[in-house]
Structure 1
């Protein structure tokens, strides 16, 4: 105690000397420079408004006819295969040009336009998924209730582990309840090889970074055991062990909740899904809508919920038949008109506006980053792509040089994909010049 007191007295004296020295220096500087004069502080003027939002200008009939003729000419020269298309003037709602717009074609990942639209309409852009942890039946066991958050990451797992510790619950074993989702984990029409290629993962209702292995984004190999990986990661943070069969548990009736963590907002999750056309995220969002509507948490429930939401809001789903929410299924069929209707509504009503802001930009981001080159649509076309064997789709919005705004949907089947992409990009660029 005496040595501590002596240390404190010495430190206090040193601090007093330091403070006194600083004060003395301050007085000296004030005497030496106190009479200096200077100009008033520089004030930055308010910047002028560089851009003001404007309402799109409708095309007159003559301009509409010229644009339609130009689009027809480009389509005639391009290699578009079995082709369906529609272009709509956003200001008037009038169809500018179309080719077989009501023919249901294989849409590939443009299916995600419907998935995102139904989710925002049904749940709102601020919706979040809550993942909770409960006490298990056995002493020392906790059970994570998986409800669809495939966006878990290191930070959210750290947060969850900290909350478990704060609860004071002793933890020896971690399990996961995956009963929220049902049905096949690899859907009909999917290739299991695509798990290792990074395009899909077995559909468990909780994953870390979409089940990517040693990565947070991109088409990298994905885990074949996403939910079990979550149990292992949480257990490691708690100095515990994953259960012997980590996904065989269920949350006991009336169990005490001891921790929880929320996902990013739906708007943020749709941004991530659309940017790189993430199939796992699309399937998770589809099931989120299904569960919110009381449907089954499988592909059938998710696709039914998606189309039901759209039909209830007046969209024409005639001829549309989808078997997944990502567009990987070769059996999906969607009409260009339905895609365009959804995009036109998003362009003219704030309810679905998050759908537009999530679309990749030509020559700049996501799946459109490497497209458009020197075409006029570069930086102006916002669209969702779609690619499968012999299938190419592009659906989005363009603002023209003259203040017109267009929504469009182009689908090519039975075609060389690169040739069809080039043709679609030329068509969308012509809209930019209108």
Structure 2
């Protein structure tokens, strides 16, 4: 038997599986028809696809569960022709009822109205009606249907005037699908819903004005979890890193000598060039001295200059000598010497404050002399690796625990008058002589001469002058690259760590502390604390580690010079791309130039970088400045702030 619908004459069942009706007379009223015993060769199969209802006419006849009509007349003119159903014109009556002239052809059929109780819900074990399979599905398998949605509070399936089920919000029974496309869309609906759930986030938005007024508003979609905007740095890096290398590589390839460079953006290396090579860092080495000084000495520690005598002052008079015991304060200066500083804004301490401390103790007269005591540190004034020109040019002063005006002569008699004719002298003696002059200006008479010596162990402290904090001393050292300050801090580190105020003890303590702090010191070589010795060696990896260990806002970061504005960079990078955007420690020798610090790019990135150049390039510091200028080219184009997640609209 074919599975298609027979279009030949024969009996006809109702779609609901109930009895068919035939007319009796002209009144149009129907009476039950008797079931025929013979069946045609072709039969219909009726199927409700939502509930699997499938019965053939033959099987129903065999079971006695169905009835059929007698053969229907092909001629509607024939009297007693049955009232037929029409599939296109709802509610049509027979032609004879309308008085329409009879003509040949098949009778128009009246559509059978179906009344469904809206409160009736089909259960899982039964169906309300056995629907006929769609014409396009006959002879082949139709796609499965899925439940549609009905209005909340309504049960069953609502049939509209057009015969289409309403798609609203509550689950309904399975309707009959008409085409394969709808079935496939519903089938993949669940998969698409899962993907959408993974790719979106639940937004809890603050109540908007509309919500406050009682109107419900849909929350604006936020950036999906799997969006590239969740990783703006990586999104930017995809194009920025190769382009950045295309800027720096050609520039460094033209530099005479050896270079190393390392640049990071938010902890990610964006450029590296021989970063592990050990090169002479020049004054960039002060970064390591500063970090260890803050660690070992403490940022709030103050260095004390002690004034002592063999016995207490009697009525303001000190019998015997007054001993000045140095504590390593490197910043004491007189007014005359400050005028000679290269940077007028360089920080220093007023030397007269020491005399004020003695006067505040009630001392009016010293019957002895002034004795300078610098025994806290070793008496080596210059390190053997330094060339003589450092002494002559004032690159670094003679080292002493008791020092004023960087150990320069010319201010002992007139401390407040500028003197261009100065040179390095005995720093301890110069301190004592200058102090005597200042005491005289305060009305304190000193009877004896000035000299150097050592205070007795049982001496009595008369007064004390305390320096600024170690953090402020570090600030001055880094901002103006003060070599004398760096070397004296190195010796103080040695004194505190091992009780020996020597450069060698200080260097050993610096390396040991750096290793303990987890800094990469494998290729580190230190000959001094300032970086003046050309035998010093440091890698860009270590220099950058020192920067990253001191984030913005820290003592070291805030002490770094600002390009074109402050410190050793106040006359460099002027009217350049890096002006006001780079904070870095400088390092400059005849054969070495270096920079290490922070760079704020126009794209919104905050880079940390280290650059060291060793060689005889005639451009000198301009090589390092050019490197800093090219850092501004990182991620040119879209700003980092525009690549991040989009905030929900309010």
TM tier, shorter chain? Answer: 0.7 to 0.9
2:307 to 130, 133, 136: 133
2:605 to 386, 396, 404: 404
* Aligned partners of 1:146 and 1:206 also within 8 Å: yes
Consecutive aligned runs of 4 or more in structure 1 exceeding 6 Å deviation: 215-220
Q: TM-score, normalised by structure 1?
A: 0.78
Counterparts of residues 171-190 of structure 1 (less than 5 Å): 171=366, 172-182=368-378, 184-190=380-386
Deviation digits for residues 170-223 of structure 1, max 9, x if unmatched? Answer: 512110111111152110122334223111121111211323455999999443
Tell me the equivalent position of 1:370.
571
Tell me the equivalent position of 2:222.
none
Tell me the equivalent position of 1:422.
622
* Aligned partners of 2:330 and 2:403 also within 8 Å: yes
* Aligned partners of 1:212 and 1:220 also within 8 Å: no
1:343 Cα offset (Å): 0.3
Change (3 A) 1:192 1:175: farther
Residue 405 of structure 2 is aligned to residue 201 of structure 1: no
1:80 Cα offset (Å): 4.3
Radius of gyration: which is bigger?
2
Tell me the equivalent position of 2:467.
263
Q: Distance in 2 between matches of 1:333 and 1:239?
A: 51
Counterparts of residues 80-119 of structure 1 (less than 5 Å): 80-89=256-265, 91=266, 93-119=267-293
Counterparts of residues 369-388 of structure 1 (less than 5 Å): 369-388=570-589
Residue 248 of structure 2 is aligned to residue 67 of structure 1: no
Counterparts of residues 277-426 of structure 1 (less than 5 Å): 277-347=481-551, 353-416=554-617, 418-426=618-626
* Aligned partners of 1:235 and 1:242 also within 8 Å: no
Corresponding residue pairs, total: 369
Q: TM-score, normalised by structure 2?
A: 0.53
More helix by proportion, 1 or 2?
1
Deviation digits for residues 39-89 of structure 1, max 9, x if unmatched? Answer: xxxxxxxxxxxxxxxxxx84643123322332223222x314111111122
Deviation digits for residues 282-306 of structure 1, max 9, x if unmatched? Answer: 1112122222212521211121122
1:253 to 457, 462, 473: 457
Residue 354 of structure 2 is aligned to residue 160 of structure 1: yes
Change (3 A) 1:83 1:133: same
Question: Please, what is the CA RMSD of the aligned residues?
Answer: 2.6
The SS at the match of 2:619 is helix
1:331 Cα offset (Å): 1.1
Residue 476 of structure 2 is aligned to residue 272 of structure 1: yes
Q: Distance in 2 between matches of 1:360 and 1:222?
A: 28
Residue 446 of structure 2 is aligned to residue 240 of structure 1: yes
Greater mean deviation of Cα atoms: 159-168 or 385-394: 159-168
Tell me the equivalent position of 1:142.
322
1:231 Cα offset (Å): 0.8
The SS at the match of 1:383 is strand
Q: Distance in 1 between matches of 2:307 and 2:476?
A: 26
* Aligned partners of 1:83 and 1:411 also within 8 Å: yes
Q: Which blocks of at least 5 consecutive residues in structure 2 are unaligned?
A: 1-231, 312-317, 335-348, 635-650
Change (3 A) 1:235 1:270: same
Q: Which blocks of at least 5 consecutive residues in structure 1 are unaligned?
A: 1-56
1:341 Cα offset (Å): 0.4
1:79 to 242, 245, 255: 255
